Amino acid sequence: MKEHLTVVKHPLIQHKLTLMREKDTSTAVFRQLLREISQLLAYEVTYELDMTTRRIETPLQEMDAPVLAGRKLALISILRAGNGLLDGMLELIPSARVGFVGLYRDEKTLKPVQYYFKVPDYLDERMVIVVDPMLATGNSSAAAVDLLKQSGAKNIRFLCLLAAPEGVARMKEAHPDVPIVTAALDERLNDKGYILPGLGDAGDRMYGTK
């Protein structure tokens, strides 16, 4: 991907995103919409998967038909909201390998601290797609990508639903080699680190917690 930031403006994505933003949208509908949008975004973010051909026989003749090349791609969910994007993507790419990164913010240092990290092997040979619905400050996203690079990942993409300019800038500074794909670039962060206009807390909205 040449662009550092790709905003996917497909009408179906934009319409579903508007429904997700609305404060009265129920947990069940929010989850279903996220699942649908994640499949549409998966289409965009996997556009550059390597291809090869395989000799096959159709009922009429032989042909060299296109198939995906190399190792299965790795989807890495940043807990816990990343799992909403992950579920939909797995429906489209059922053979993907899956990893999880758990980070919390240390209240004293305000830095992200790792509490869980489990990723597939051979990350250096896979396309690695990091999923987190909200790219807000970008601190946890940048830290997650740091950890993945330490595990060997080289070909990384970051997929989110909403991005704040602050988060995009932070990622560009820390990881200019990691393209970001999002459904919308919102206005800014508020003083609590929420994206405006945003959709609130993605994890709470998808799991019905508060």
CA–chain centroid gap for 68, Å, is: 20
The single residue of 25, 71, 87, 105 carrying the catalytic annotation is 105
How many alpha carbons lie under 13 Å from residue 14 in its C-beta half-sphere?
A: 7
Query: 37-70 in b/e burial notation, b at 16+ Cβ within 10 A?
Result: bbbbbbebbbeeeeeeeeeeeeeeeeeeeeeeee
In a 3-state reduction of DSSP, which class is residue 23?
A: coil
- 39-47, 96-104, 145-153, 192-200 -> range binding ligand URA (CB under 6 A): 192-200
Establish whether 18 is a catalytic residue: no
Residue 96 engages ligand URA in binding (rule: CB under 6 A): no
The single residue of 46, 109, 124, 157 carrying the catalytic annotation is 109
Shorter beta-carbon distance to ligand URA: residue 134 or 153: 134
| CB-based contact 118:138 (threshold 8 Å) | no
Smallest gap from residue 81 Cβ to ligand URA (A): 6
132 is in an annotated binding site: yes
Smallest gap from residue 94 Cβ to ligand URA (A): 27
Interface contacts to ligand URA, rule CB under 6 A: 81, 134, 136, 193-195, 198, 201-203
- Detail the residues annotated as belonging to a binding site for uracil: 195, 200-202
